[in-house]
Amino acid sequence: MKVRETSIAGLFEISLDINRDDRGSFREAYQREKLLALGLPDLGVVQWNISTNVSRGTLRGIHAEPWDKYIHVIAGEAYAAIVDLRDDSPTYKQYEQFTLTPENAIFVSRGLGNSYQTLTDDCVYGYLVNQHWSPDAQYTLISYRDPELAIPWPVSPPIVSAKDEGHPSLAERG
């Protein structure tokens, strides 16, 4: 495993070691001790979530949940845009882009807006979190179409839920 710091504090990209042979492959997608030794914070995993996405172009986000995430695409590929939505951050409103595959992962600190669009059919997107989901959790939700961010989504038109279509822009959020 290798860790790369990004321009946004609390956002890291992790390159995974893949062992392949004629049967397929094996990878450690998350290994606490190795990641701690490489300087990542201890996630303290309490829940594992998996999102299956049938069609290329499926877009989810932008959601900033009140917990940290360790994100890994189990199958397929996805384009991820992680936006700093922490009002007091020097990189507020900036984002980093990643192509997520089974060969990498990202660590996303709370307050960073997570969003992704699938680049393949049958994309399986998994993430570990350090707090249990709650219907009372306070999220920051921003429109994936926000003109101030101008995220270059790679697949058009996107497949988006009605809920994600209704998120406000940064200007509307105030």
The pLDDT tens digits along the chain (174 residues) read: 999 999 999 999 999 999 999 999 999 999 999 999 999 999 999 999 999 999 999 999 999 999 999 999 999 999 999 999 999 999 999 999 999 999 999 999 999 999 999 999 999 999 999 999 888 998 899 999 999 999 999 999 999 999 999 999 999 987
**H-helix or E-strand containing 171?**
helix 170-173
The active-site residue, picked from 30, 63, 79, 95, is 63
79 is catalytic: no
Question: pTM value?
Answer: 0.95
CB 106 within 8 A of CB 80: yes
Count of CB atoms situated within 10 Å of the CB of 83: 28
The active-site residue, picked from 79, 95, 125, 127, is 127
63 is catalytic: yes
CB 158 within 8 A of CB 117: yes
